[in-house]
Amino acid sequence: MPNFEEHVKINMSIFWLFFLVAIVMSQLENNLTVFAGYIIGTFLLNLDLDTKTDVRNSWGFLAFWWKPYDILVPHRVKGKSRFRDVARGLGHHWLMGPILLICWFLLGMALFYIGASFIRGTIFLNPESIDNTKLVNDIMTPKGYKFLFGIWFANIIHLISDKIK
């Protein structure tokens, strides 16, 4: 199984291939959000976040957010596990792995946004100005879907490279 550096090399090789194809086909502007999601999916939202690897270290002090994810969605559990039998291997499932990773990340973003909105509303004493649906509305756009697809696609390449190596 490739380590973090090998995964980055493989993912970035695929990235540059698709980037050049987009340039040749004059589709670069249409795919910038996909490429941004792919880069984020390669370096920050990687399926190996549930292990103590370089990808978790790249989160710095925010790495604590991924510890509960590690407990709920084990990387690959071998042998008996009383508490995590249901989730065994979901972290590296081709569909559920990226979906769970993205959902956990979006949960963190939503909690941060709600907390920041609460603080902002408390400081300015104007709770009517808080729009907690803004985050959801920003994600549920074609650009938001393209960004999430880029994250998912980077993780699919990660899974394929795990199988090949």
Q: What angle do CA 144, 149, 155 make, to 5 degrees?
A: 135
Q: Which residue has the tokens 């549920």?
A: 140
For the chain, domain boundaries: 4-164
CA distance 94 to 96: 6
- CA distances 120 to 92, 115, 131, Å, are 38, 9, 11
Q: Which residues contact 53 (CB under 8 A, 6 or more apart)?
A: 3, 4
State residue 155's pLDDT score. Answer: 92
Q: In which residue ranges of the chain is pLDDT below 50?
A: 83-84, 125
Taking the chain, what is the end-to-end CA distance rounded to the nearest angstrom? 5
- pTM for the model: 0.78
How many residues are there in the chain?
Answer: 165
State residue 76's pLDDT score. Answer: 59
Q: What is the pLDDT of residues 99-127, one digit of tens each?
A: 888 899 889 888 887 777 777 665 554 55
Q: What is the pLDDT of residues 84-104, one digit of tens each?
A: 455 557 777 888 888 888 899
